[in-house]
Amino acid sequence: MKQNDAAVSPVIGVILTFAITVILATVIAAFVFGFSADRPTNRPTLAIKVENVPATIGIIDMRIQHAGGDRLESGYWKLSIVPVGNAPIYRDSSTDFNVGDQIITTNITSGTGNYTVTNSAVTINPDDPTAKLISGGKYDVKIIVYPLKAMVLDTVVEVR
């Protein structure tokens, strides 16, 4: 009598292939979804107005106002104000930027000192004339959300 064991091998092979596929899919899914849970993935949506402040007499300044949309969290966004044609120089934020908040500055971000973004007047170093905005000057104003590398503001403003 002959014994035929040939049919067992294909069945075991199919079961092993299926098991390996399920295990690999589970490991890959856990890896991918595990890393994306900690990072923000949505680009913030907001409206920001940037303008010269004509109401201040004798002071050359600029107002950056959060007009609506998402809040920018402290430490996750950066601001650059440089003369047109210069490379951006980003300064870290030290406060949240909420709807209704505004930044009023007389300086550019390439000056020396600590650039703190608040709801009131902002200065880098009042004794450094190279950091001051110049009347009639055009300035490139940018805000980026650093973890997402998303530009939420990119405009040019002329101050008087």
What pTM did the predictor assign?
Answer: 0.66
Nearest in space to 73 (alpha carbons), one of 148, 156, 157: 148
The answer as to CATH 2.60.40 being correct for domain 46-158 is yes
Distance CA 101, CA 122 (A): 13
**Which residue type is seen at 123?**
T
* pLDDT tens, N- to C-terminus, the chain (160 residues): 666 666 567 778 889 999 999 999 988 888 777 655 455 567 888 999 999 887 776 777 888 888 999 988 888 888 898 899 999 988 888 788 888 888 888 778 776 544 545 554 444 444 454 567 888 889 999 999 988 888 999 999 998 8
